């Protein structure tokens, strides 16, 4: 949903829990019981992400989290796809993840890029929606054009770790005119092994970015890494 439409929904709709429809405080998407019921991620760092790259997340990609993620990433066509509940829940998760980061605030917030063909087919980039919402909520600079996906990589679904790494090697290029940017938050919706984020971070490092923090709404538990890591 575009920002003006989202703002209109937030203005007109009452402050209710997106899951159970009970009243909530303005600005909250879920009531306290529904929020506490969500699985939070407490696992290890993504195995294919360099140790120098921090990764923070809000939730574990299972149960109700995967249901919300599907509503956010795969909306129905037409007005049936206007789903402010899913938008607000994912917006809250990405903000929660960002608040867990260590160190200084970034100079720039950027999303993991989609290949142009996939973007045309889908119509939007879920990571870009989250990056834009996060930058607005925290008053940070945002640029969705920094990363370019130069290879339309196949899905990561069903690939082992080595194959995932090979699949996305060289898939990204970063713009040359980063104006001395050295600290970046790289935003994605779901991270599994970290192969995609690692490839994106490598492209940024080649342009002089020294600090990359991956901020994601959900992490797939490694024991279920065969589940889809959105690589669109």
Residue extents of the structural domains in the chain: 39-224
pLDDT tens per residue, range 196-223: 999 999 999 999 999 999 999 999 987 6
Share of the chain above pLDDT 90, in %: 58
The winner for highest mean pLDDT among 9-23, 31-45, 212-226 is 31-45
Q: Which residues are bridge partners to 214 per DSSP?
A: 55, 186
Q: Which helix (H) or strand (E) holds 73?
A: helix 64-73
* pLDDT at site 163: 62
List CB contacts of 36: < 8 A, sequence separation 6 or more: none
- Of the candidate CATH numbers 1.10.20, 3.40.50, 3.90.1200, 2.60.40, the domain formed by 39-224 belongs to 3.40.50
Compute the radius of gyration of the chain from its Cα atoms.
Answer: 17
- Tell me: pLDDT of 4 over 60: no
* pLDDT at site 152: 73
Q: What is the DSSP letter of 4?
A: H
- Tell me: pLDDT of 105 over 90: yes
Q: Which residues are bridge partners to 185 per DSSP?
A: 109, 213
Q: What end-to-end distance do the CA atoms of the chain give, in Å?
A: 19
Q: Between 213 and 27, whose confidence is greater?
A: 213
């Amino acid at each position: 949903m575009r920002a003006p439409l989202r703002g209109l929904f937030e203005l007109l709709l009452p402050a209710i829990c997106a899951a159970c429809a009970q009243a909530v405080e303005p600005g909250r998407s879920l009531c306290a019981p529904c929020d506490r019921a969500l699985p939070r991620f407490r696992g290890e760092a993504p195995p294919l992400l360099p140790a120098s790259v921090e990764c923070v997340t809000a939730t574990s990609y299972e149960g109700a989290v995967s249901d919300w993620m599907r509503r956010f990433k795969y909306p129905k066509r037409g007005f049936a796809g206007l789903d402010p509940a899913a938008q607000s829940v994912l917006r809250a998760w990405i903000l929660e993840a960002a608040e867990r980061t260590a160190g200084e605030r970034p100079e720039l917030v950027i999303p993991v890029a989609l290949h142009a063909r996939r973007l045309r087919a889908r119509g939007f980039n879920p990571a870009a929606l989250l990056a834009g919402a996060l930058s607005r909520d925290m008053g940070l600079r945002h640029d969705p054009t920094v990363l370019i996906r130069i290879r339309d990589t196949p899905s990561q679904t069903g690939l082992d770790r080595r194959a995932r790494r090979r699949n996305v090697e060289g898939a990204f290029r970063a713009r040359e005119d980063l104006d001395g940017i050295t600290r970046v938050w790289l935003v994605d919706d779901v991270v599994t092994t970290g192969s995609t984020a690692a490839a994106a971070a490598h492209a940024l490092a080649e342009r002089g970015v020294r600090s990359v923090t991956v901020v994601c709404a959900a992490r797939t538990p490694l024991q279920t890494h065969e589940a889809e890591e959105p690589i669109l």
